[in-house]
Amino acid sequence: MNCNRIVILIIAAFCISFSTAHAEKKLIYVGIDKPDVNSLPQIVEQMEQTPFDGWTFGIRSKNAHLSLLDGRPRKFDFTWGSWSNRVFTHDEIQSSIDSFKNTKFKKFTDNFVYLCVTPGDIDWFDSYDAVLNNVGLAALIAKEGGLKGVFFDPEEYETPLWNYQKQRDVKTKSFDEYAAQVRKRGAEVMQAFQNAYPEITILLAFGHSANYWYETTDNRGNNFPKCSSDPNKLHYADYGLLSPFLNGMVEAAGPKVKIVDGWENAYFFLRAKEFANGRAAVREKVLPFVSDKGKYSKVYQCGFGIWLDANWLDGKNRDDYPADGRKEYPGWNNKDFSRNYFQPEEIEMSLKNAFKYSDEYVWLYVERLFYYGSIKNVPDEYIDAICRAKKSIKD
User: If we measure between CA atoms, which residue out of 261, 267, 262 comes closest to residue 365?
Assistant: 267
Q: Confirm whether 61 is domain-assigned.
A: yes
Give the integer Cα–Cα distance in Å for 343 and 332.
Answer: 11
Domain of 360, in residue numbers: 26-392
> Who has greater pLDDT, 75 or 43?
43
Longest pairwise C-alpha distance within the chain: 77
Q: Confirm whether 218 is domain-assigned.
A: yes
Model-wide pTM > 0.85: yes
- Domain total of the chain: 1
Asked whether residue 68 carries a pLDDT value surpassing 60, the answer given is no
Q: Confirm whether 13 is domain-assigned.
A: no
The per-residue pLDDT for range 128-153, each reduced to its tens digit, is 999 999 999 999 999 999 999 999 99
The per-residue pLDDT for range 95-105, each reduced to its tens digit, is 999 999 999 99
Asked whether residue 108 carries a pLDDT value surpassing 50, the answer given is yes
Asked whether residue 16 carries a pLDDT value surpassing 50, the answer given is no
User: In whole angstroms, how far apart are CA 252 and each of 116, 152, 180, 256?
Assistant: 20, 17, 14, 12
Q: Confirm whether 220 is domain-assigned.
A: yes
User: In whole angstroms, how far apart are CA 156 and each of 120, 162, 193, 207, 211?
Assistant: 8, 8, 21, 13, 14
Q: Return the pLDDT at 395.
A: 73
Percent of the chain with pLDDT over 70: 91
> H-helix or E-strand containing 332?
strand 332-333
Asked whether residue 164 carries a pLDDT value surpassing 70, the answer given is yes
Q: Confirm whether 5 is domain-assigned.
A: no
Q: Return the pLDDT at 36.
A: 84
Per-residue pLDDT band at 13 (split at 50, 70, 90): very low
CATH code: domain of residue 148: 3.20.20
Q: Return the pLDDT at 6.
A: 37
Give the integer Cα–Cα distance in Å for 56 and 59.
Answer: 10
> H-helix or E-strand containing 129?
helix 129-145
Q: Confirm whether 251 is domain-assigned.
A: yes
